[in-house]
Structure 1
Amino acid sequence: MFDSRHIKTFYEVVRAGSYSAAARSLGYTQPAITQQMKALERSVGTPLFTRVGRRMRLTEAGEALSRHAGIILDDISAAQQQMNAITRLRSGRVRVCAFPSANATLIPESLARLASGHPGVRVELLEDEPPESLRRVVRGECDITLAFTYPGLHEEVPDELAEIPLMEDQLTVLLPTGHPMARRRSVKLAELAEERWIAGCPRCRANFLHECAELGFAPDIAFTTDDNLVVQSLVAEGLGIAMMPGLVLNFLCHRKVTGRALDPASRRQVSAYVLKDHLRIPATALVLDELRTVAANRVGC
């Protein structure tokens, strides 16, 4: 294995034409140059120079190494510059996977802040629901994933992951604007036991069924869809009501749909997950900081 310092010294000896000239150029003593060249020759297993009178001549191995030395040093310099750019956040890539309502709310504002302060850091966006999104981090398919958990359900988080809590997202009930309870500021889930319901993703549906069971009823689920816009359209047409996360209220599109908080409040925990070792990667840590800031500003909204 070559020592890059020895390659640099060898390159200067060849350029300058002698050990003494290279020593003056590099600010070393001549014995130090001699020791480095002997160490390099031991590393390659053959002499690199031969003396002809007072002059030094490259051996065949020396000539071969000379042809590559400049390229090696240029590659090292380019690698150092790229590493400096990454560690100083002038460049970098972070792959973020989030569930739909986070991708529509937390992510855009976080990326806008990131682009303003560190335009060289690029983010690739992916979309998936937990628990599959957590597995994608473990498999190396993304660097950060945003996922949610419910307090009444047992959640398995892989040991390799660090959890960074971001916010509590209050659950709401989507109602047609003409619904009798749409005039209230909040609604009780038990009072909606006779309604037809539209259920969401598997994890949200499991929590919904759990909360209904705690109140002693089994909901009449008429439709199931992961698409928040479809849920809104179904509610708007009076085909059912839905329990939805508060983040969805940020992009309600139908004028015939309104959201009302649950009483007592019911919430889900939104967190970011990352491999523990990746917490020390500057670009990843920066994106996590932006997510924390944006999420903190939404608490209580």
Structure 2
Amino acid sequence: MLDTRLLRTFHQVVESGSFSAAARTLGYTQPAISQQIRTLEKAVGTPLFIRTGRKMVLTEAGELLLRHAVGILADLSAAQSQVAAIRHLAAGRVRVCTFPSASATIVAAAAAGLRKSNPGIRVQLSEAEPPESLAMLEAGECDIALAFNYEGMPEPGRTEFVVRALLDDDMQVVLPVGHPLSRRRSVDLPELVNESWIAGCPQCRATFVNACSQAGFEPDIAVTTDDNLAVQSLVVAGIGVGVMPGLVLSFLRHPQIVARPLRPAVRRKVSAYTLADYTRIPATSVMLEALTEASGRLQRGAVGDSSIS
């Protein structure tokens, strides 16, 4: 493999027209330049220059090497510039895998902030529910995974994950406008014992069923669907009532529903997960900070505030 330092010296000798001129440009002595060219000729196994009087002329091998050297040095310079841009956050990419409601809230707000502070960074977004999103992180398919975990459940993921807590997301009961409990500021779960229910995603549904069991009843689940808009429409249609995360209600709310906090609270914790090596990459580190700041603003703004009906 050819030493790029020798290629640079060779290119400068050709550009300058002599060893002495190249030595002045590169800050070497002339003997040092001569030694580097001899080393390069030994590496390629053939002379690169011949002397004709006072002039130095490239051999055929020298002309061929020069054409390649120009491209190699240009590519190397471009690579150094691009890596420097990533290091200084003038450019870069961060791959984020998240669940849909975080995509529409936390990630959207973080990306907007990042666009102002570091416009050269591009966010590549994919969607998956946990634990699939964490499996993608472990497989190297994303740099950051956003996932949620309900209180009382074991922490998802592997011990080597770096975890950044983002916010607490309370589940709320979704009622049709005019429901007898819609005037309440909060609703005790046992008060809903006689209701039919629209159940959501598998993890939310399992947590909800467990909460009902602790409250002393088994819920009558009329419909199950992962579509949050469908849940709200089915509630409005009178099929049943539902439970929904505050994050969802902060950006998606049917005009004919009312959302109220459940008592006792059913809460999920939303966190960002990454690997220790990824935290050393500037774009990933900056994105983690942006996600944390965006989550703080959402939490302070009372995510899914049930006073909005």
Q: Distance in 2 between matches of 1:185 and 1:43?
A: 82
Q: How does 1:1-301 map to 2 (within 5 A)?
A: 1-51=1-51, 55-159=55-159, 161-300=161-300, 301=302
State how far apart, in whole Å, the 2-side matches of 1:246 and 1:123 are.
25
Q: SS where residue 183 of structure 1 aligns? A: coil
User: Structure 2: which amino acid aligns with 1:237?
Assistant: A
Compute the RMSD of aligned alpha carbons.
Answer: 2.0
| In 2, Cα distance between equivalents of 1:42 and 1:155 | 61
- State the TM-score, normalized to the length of structure 2: 0.90
How does the TM-score come out when normalised to structure 1? Answer: 0.92
Aligned residue-pair number: 301
Cα distance, 1:35–1:215 mapped onto 2, change above 3 Å: farther
Q: Distance in 2 between matches of 1:77 and 1:230?
A: 54
2:148 alignment partner, SS class? strand
Does the CA contact (< 8 Å) of 1:153 and 1:207 recur in 2? no
The amino acid that maps onto 2:152 is G
Q: Which amino acid aligns with 2:9?
A: T
1:176 Cα offset (Å): 1.3
Change (3 A) 1:271 1:65: same
Asked whether the 8 Å contact 1:171–1:262 carries over to 2, the reply is: yes
Percent of matched pairs sharing the same residue: 56
1:222 is matched by which residue type in structure 2? A
Shift of 1:190: 2.3
> How far is 1:230 from its partner?
0.8
Distance 1:5 1:30 in 2: 16
- Deviation, 1:60, is 3.9
C-alpha displacement at 1:210, in angstroms? 2.1
Unmatched 5+ residue regions in structure 2? Answer: 303-309
Q: Deviations over 1:233-285 (max 9, x none)?
A: 11112211112111122124322211111223221110112232111111121
1:206 and 1:4 map into 2 onto residues whose CA distance is 61
Q: What per-residue deviation string (whole Å, max 9, x for no partner) do you get for residues 200-244 of structure 1? A: 111111211222222332211111111111111111122111121
AA at the equivalent of 2:81: Q
Contact 1:152 1:207 (C-alpha < 8 Å) held by counterparts: no
Query: Deviations for 1:67-107, whole angstroms, at most 9, x for unmatched residues?
Result: 11111111111112211222222222222222111112112
Q: Which letter maps to 2:161?
A: L
- 2: CA distance between counterparts of 1:73 and 1:288? 36
Shift in CA distance, 186/17, structure 1 to aligned 2, threshold 3 Å: same
Retained in 2: the 8 A contact 1:106–1:291?
yes
Report how far residue 64 of structure 1 moved. Answer: 2.0
Unaligned runs of 5+ in 1: none
Task: Provide closer, same or farther for how the CA distance between residues 162 and 13 of structure 1 changes in structure 2, counting only shifts above 3 A.
Answer: same
Aligned with 2:141: secondary structure? coil
Alpha-carbon distance change, 212 to 41 in structure 1, aligned in 2, over 3 angstroms = farther
Letter of the structure 2 residue corresponding to residue 134 of structure 1:
L
Partners of 2:238 and 2:283 lie apart in 1 by 46
